[in-house]
Amino acid sequence: MKVAIYSRGLDADQHSQLFTLMSELQKHQIDTIVYKNLAERHPEVFSPYHAYDVFTATDGLTDEIDCMISLGGDGTILDSATLVKDTNIPVLGINFGRLGFLASLGKEELTNAVDALVSGTYVADKRTLIHLDANIPLFGNTPFALNEFAIHKRDVSSMIKIHTYLNGEFLNTYWADGLIVSTPTGSTGYNMSCNGPIVFPESASFVITPVAPHNLNVRPIVIPNDTIVSFEVEGRSEEFICTLDARKEIVGKDVQIAIKKESFHLNLLRLNENSFLSTLRNKLTWGLDKRN
């Protein structure tokens, strides 16, 4: 068995957990490949372990790798998605961050996580990705997102008009600060903070949610994920912001943009007891009531 380890970087007080992870992997004789920046930033943790390789990008991730372990918060999971791309390497998130909605395993569960990998007692959730097409190159070789695509006005400029089409048919013109097209995975993120609905991960749908709409009768809408959604943007500013998860591009308002379901998906691993409903209750205090 071979696993990859990715993290943006860890605090000094988290070294003991990283050392525990490396010890567990060695105990089970699991081959390890470590993100180069992580290994270089924490040599005191990795130096005792000479039997590991390093990678810097997707081309260092071969089909020999059985899993990528993501150490951090949900943002680190989003980074991991751009690294594994279409390699079909599943991702297991260990929460070294704050909320950890996607990275649902706590760092105190490292031993259980490695045991689950070895024994195969985990669940793999197929998470839909969203793909961006444009008439100019955008987002390099990673024009996809796990959570959402969004259009947003720049800085303190006036609201923009976003003409939106579903499979070429006019849906609506959104007078708003922006517009979100969310995957089911992203429905608990930016979408939810803008009063969009929470959608189950296995739902074959996208959610379109306006950001601060000028018209109060405009509400989020759920659409099938085999729909191609295209946009035309107007505004007093010549540019607007286009985002895929935490990545952004500044583009001119004459740019033609469309989004659709990505041709591949992300396999997100979890332990059996960490269901979507339990995560809603534990992370979002869903239905919290002193009477319960």
Burial 88-119 (b: 16+ CB within 10 A, else e): ebbbbbbbbbeebbbbbbebebbeebbebbee
Sequence letter at residue 253 = K
Active site residue 31: no
**Residue from 11, 74, 125, 226 carrying the catalytic annotation:** 74
The residues annotated as belonging to the active site are: 74
